[in-house]
A and B are shown apart, each in its own frame.
Chain A
Amino acid sequence: MSHHHDAPLRSSNRDLQEIEKNMDRRRFLTKTSLGLGSLALGSLMGMEKIFAEKAQTQPLLSETTNGLAGLPHFMPKAKRVIYLFQSGGPSQLELYDYKPKLIDLHGQELPDSVRDGQRLTGMSADQSSFPMTASAFKFSQYGQSRAWVSELMPYTAEIVDELCFIKSLQTGQINHDPAITFFQTGHQLPGRPSMGAWLSYGLGSDNQNLPSFIVLVSKNAVQDQPLYARLWGNGFLPSQYQGIQFRSGKDPVLYLGNPENYDGKDRREMLDYLKSLNEVQLDTYGDPEINARIAQYEMAFRMQTSVPEITDMSREPDSVYEMYGEDSRDPGTYAANCLLARKLIEKDVKFVQLYHQGWDQHGNLPGGIKNQCQKTDRATAALIKDLKQRGLLEDTLVVWGGEFGRTVYSQGTLSPDNYGRDHHPRCFTKWMCGAGVKPGFTYGETDDFGYNVVRDPVHVHDLQATILHLFGIDHEKLTYKYQGRRFRLTDVEGHVVKGILT
C-alpha cells in the first residue's frame, strides 16, 4: 500500500497517464485556439471563472493571517462579536422603549397623521380599528444611566450601565425572512454573504483550530418562523467562510469521535493523500471550491480535538451555572448557548451568532413575551457580566436584537388583559455592548406613540457599517467582485453611527 503514498501520483497510475495524454492533445487545441479567445472574452465580460485559476482578481491574502492583505484599514476596537439574534421581532414597547403617554391613549384609534399612509402587513391591514395599546408591563429606571427597562427583564435591568441602547433602528422590510436576511447579509434577497462570513473573509481566523464563524440556535424556543442555513451562508464568497452551525444538543458536532476499534493514528496520512488527490483536481480544473474543500477537511481534522475540549462543561463550577440559570445545564438551550458562546470567545472565535426564535407575538402578546424573556433574560445578563469580569468585554462586541419591532396598535381585538402586535419596521430597539461602544448610553428617540423615529434614525446598513468600523474595517472598502460588480455588506449605503462610539 505504502508505495501509493510516496510515488509521484500522475506517473504511477496508468489510467491517469492515459487521461493526461488525452488531455494534452485536447488541451493543446483548447488552450491555443479557444484558450486565448476565452481569456479575452472572459476579461471583456467579467467572467473570471473561465480562467479562475490564474485570474485571481480578488485582493491578495495577507502573509501572516489568512485574512486580506491591508486589513484592518485602521486600528480596531473589537476582536470578536457575539450577536444575540432575537428572531421574530421582539416588541420594543414591552421591553425598552417606554411610552407613558400610551397609558392615556390606550384604546384610542391610531391617528392617520402618525401612520402617514404606511402600508401594513396583510395580517392587520384589513382591521376596521387600530386601537393604540399601552404595554401591560411596568417600566422603571435603572443604574446610573437611568435607563428604562420593563419588569420583564429584571436581570438585564441590572446591567444597563454596560449597554448602549439604540432606540431608532429602522428597516425597509416588514416580513420575517427578508428582514432577517437584510440584517444578516445587507440585502433582502437571499444569496449574499452573511456578516460573519464577510468578517472571516476580511480578517481571517484568530484560532486555526476552530471555525471563525459559529452559529448556535436555541432548542428551547417557539420555532414558529423558520431559520435557514443561508442566513449564515457564504453567498458568493469562497465556502470556507460560511458559518458553522453547532447542533443544539449534547453532541454539537457529529462524528468527531473515532469509531470503535480505530485509533485514528493514520488519519493524518489519509488526509495528506486525499489532499494530494484534490490538488490534482485543482490543477486540472482550477475550481477555487476545491481549495475550500481541502481547507474544510483540515478544519474538521483539527476540530476533532478542539471541539470536545470546548464543549466539555465539566470544568465549569456550579457558580457559573447559577449565574446563567438552571437551563444552562441543558445543552442547546439559549442559556447553555450563551455559556458556550463565552467559551468560544475565550478561544478567540471571531463571530458567534446565537438565534433565539419565538418573538413573533401577533396575538397573546403578554403571555408570549413573558415566556420569551424568562428563557433569555437571565442568561443574556449573565453573559455580559461574565465577559466583563473576565476582561473580555474590552475587545468583544455584543449585539442584542431582532429583525424589526412591533406596532403600537393591537393586532386583533384589544381586551382588558390581552392583545397582539403586528410587525413594525419603522422603529425598534437593539442594544450593543462592549468593545468601542459607549456604555450606559441611549441613542435615538421615537415619538410618543412609539411609531416613528424623531431623532437620529439608524438604518440596518448603518448598524452594519458601525460593526465593521469597530473591527477596523471601512465598510466601503471591504468588497468582493462577483459577476462584474464589487459587492459589499452595506450595498451602496451605510454610515458609521459615530454617536455611539467611545
Chain B
Amino acid sequence: MIQDLITFIGRFHPLWVHLPIGFLIIAVFFKAYVVLGKKPAMQEAVSFSLLLGTISALIAAVLGFLLSRSGGYEGDLLDIHLVAGWTTVFISAIAWWVNKNELRFGKRLNYAVLGFMILALSVTGHFGRNLTHGEDYLTAFAPFGEKQEVTKGRVLAKAEDAEVFTDVIQPVLRSKCQSCHRPGKTKGELNLHSYETLLKGGENGPVFIAADAEKSELIRRVTLPADHDDFMPAEGKKPLTEEEIQLLTWWIAKGNANPKISLMDADEEIIAWAKPRLNISGGEKMLAVSIDTVHLKALEKMGFRVRVLSHEYGALDVVLPSDAANGQASDLLKALLPIKDQIYWLSLAGTGIQDADLSQIAQFSNLQRLRVENNPISDSGISALRSLSKLESLNLNGTKVSAAGLEPLAEINSLKSLFLWNTTIEPQDKKVEKISSTGVKVVFGS
C-alpha cells in the first residue's frame, strides 16, 4: 500500500524536474540581463527565480528519491544521477544565498557559483536522460559518430534451417567488425561484408585458413592481449566475447570455413549459445508465463512449498512436505491444477498419495523431475505417467511398483534416471535391463 503510494508520487518526478530546470536557467538569463543590460532592478527577479529553482529542485530530488525506491532503477547511472541531483539542490541554494548577499561575497563568486549550478544541472539532466531513454539515446541519430546497425540475421522458419556463417557469424561481424571493414570503409583493405569479400582477405593476405584456426589471422587478431597493436577490434571498440571467438574458431577449424554448414552440425555449446540469437519467425520462442503470486501464496498457506525455478518460463518447483500433507494429499493436489503447466519439479514423497492421484499428475505437461517415493502407489497408477513427455527423473523408491510396471515408463523418451530402491524389483530383471538399454540410469540401493 505504502509502496504503491511511493511509486505513484515518485512517478511525478519526470514531469516535475522540468520546473527547476526552467527556473534555474531563467535565473541565469535574468542575471545576464542585470549585468549586460545594466538593469539592477531585475536583481530581485534573479533571487526570486533562484529561490523557486531551489525549492522545486528539492521537491524534484525527493520525488526522484521516491521513484528510485519503487524499483526498476539501479546501478551506477542511478547513483551518479542521485548524487548530481542533490548537488544541484545544494548549489542552487548556495547560489540563492550568494546572490542575495552579493555585496558580501563579491560578483566573481556569484558568477562562479551560477556556473557550477548550470554544470550540475546539466550533468543531472544528462544522466537522468540516460536512465530513462538508454545510454545511446543522444548519439544514436547524431550526424557524427558510428551508427548502430541491425545485428539480427535474416528471418528463419526454424532453428534447423540456420547456417553457421549467414545466421550466426555474419551478425557478429556486423556488430563487431563492420564499422571499419565494410563497403565504403575498408580499413586495411579488408571488407567483411560477405563470404566472398571475407575470402579475398586484406592487405596482409587472407584472414583465415580453412581447418587451421591457429594460423588464421582473424583468430590471431581477436585473441591477442587487448593492449597489443594488432588486436582487433581496434582501440575503444567492444571486443569479441569468449563465445563469439569460440564460434569463429569452430567454424574455421571444424566447420572447414564452409559458408553453408548448418548450425545443427556445430558443437552443442555453440548451438545452445546461438539458438536464442536467431531471428526465428513466429511460435518457436518460449512465451513468458506470468507467475500468479496470489495463487502461490494460497498454496503456501495450504502447506506447499513453492519456489520459482525460472522467471522466463514461469517454471515452478513444488514440494508437499509429508507432515503438511496430513493424509489430505489427494484434496491438496487439486489446488495445483490451475498451475499444472508451470510445475517443472514436483515432490510428493511420503505424502500418502494413491494411484488415482497419479492420473492428475499425468496432466502436468512440463514436469521434468517427479518424486513420489514412499507412497502406496502401484503399477496401475504409475502407467498414467507415460504421458509425461518431458519427464527426466522419476523416483519410485519404496513404492509397490513391479517389474511389469516399468513397461509403460519405457515410452517416456526423455527419461534419464529412475529410482527403484526399496521396491520388489530385482536389478537383474529383464525389464530393468530393457529400460536401461534405452539410456535410462536405473538406481537401486547400495
Contacts and interface: CB of A to CB of B under 8 A. Distances in A.
A43 B421 contact: no
B187 interface: no
Q: Find the residue from A55, A206, A207 having the highest chain B CB count within 10 A.
A: A206
A390 B396 CA distance: 10
A76 B309 contact: yes
Given A44-B86, A72-B308, A75-B309, A391 B61 contact: no
Nearest to B76: A486
A472 interface: yes
B407 interface: no
B261 to A, nearest CB: 23
Given A54-B69, A390-B421, A44 B369 contact: no
A389 B443 contact: yes
Interface string B66-83: 000101001000010011
B371 A206 contact: no
Interface stretch (A58-66, A140-148, A270-278): A58-66
B305 interface: yes
Contact of A391 (B82, B308, B309, B443): B443
Contact of A74 (B90, B312, B371, B417): B312
A43 B311 contact: no
Given A389-B397, A391-B393, A395-B369, A70 B311 contact: yes
A392 to B, nearest CB: 9
Interface in B53-95: 58, 61, 65, 69, 71, 74, 79, 82-83, 86-87, 89-90
Chain A at the B interface: SS class = loop
A390 B349 CA distance: 11
Given A40-B90, A391-B395, A348 B319 contact: yes
Given A60-B71, A62-B308, A75-B310, A391 B297 contact: no
Contacts of A55: 69
Nearest to A386: B446
Given A76-B309, A389-B444, A389-B445, A394 B393 contact: yes
B312 to A, nearest CB: 7
A79 B371 CA distance: 14
Contacts of A206: 305, 307, 319
B300 A64 contact: yes
Q: How large is the interface on A (under 10, 10 to 19, 20 to 34, 35 or more residues)?
A: 35 or more
B362 interface: no
Contacts of A59: 71, 74
Given A60-B71, A63-B293, A390 B83 contact: no
A43 B395 contact: no
A56 interface: yes
Nearest to B64: A43
Nearest to A384: B446
Contacts of A106: none
Nearest to B296: A64
Contacts of B319: 206, 348
Given A60-B71, A348-B319, A390-B421, A40 B397 contact: no
Interface in B313-357: 313, 315, 317, 319, 321, 344-345
B128 to A, nearest CB: 15
A203 B313 CA distance: 18
Interface residues of B, number: 46
Contacts of A57: 69
B397 A391 contact: yes
Interface in B274-321: 293, 296-297, 300, 305-313, 315, 317, 319, 321
A391 B350 CA distance: 14
A56 B66 CA distance: 10
Contacts of B308: 62, 64-65, 71-72
Nearest to A159: B446
A57 B421 CA distance: 49
A64 B297 CA distance: 6
Among the interface residues B269, B315, B373, B443, which one has the most CB atoms of the partner chain A within 10 A? B443
Contacts of A390: 373, 397, 419, 421
A389 B82 CA distance: 55
B188 to A, nearest CB: 32
Interface in A295-347: none
A391 B373 contact: yes
Contact of A64 (B74, B293, B344, B445): B293
Contact of A40 (B86, B317, B417, B421): B86
A389 B83 contact: no
16 contacts: A43-B83, A43-B86, A44-B87, A46-B79, A62-B308, A65-B306, A71-B308, A72-B308, A75-B315, A389-B421, A389-B446, A390-B419, A391-B393, A391-B395, A391-B397, A472-B309
Interface of B: 58, 61, 65, 69, 71, 74, 79, 82-83, 86-87, 89-90, 269, 293, 296-297, 300, 305-313, 315, 317, 319, 321, 344-345, 369, 371, 373, 393, 395, 397, 417, 419, 421, 443-446
| Pairs A-B, 9 closest by C-beta atoms | A391-B395, A391-B419, A63-B293, A75-B310, A385-B446, A64-B296, A389-B421, A389-B445, A40-B86
Interface of A: 36, 39-40, 43-44, 46, 54-57, 59-60, 62-65, 70-72, 74-76, 79, 203-204, 206-207, 348, 385, 388-391, 394-395, 472, 498
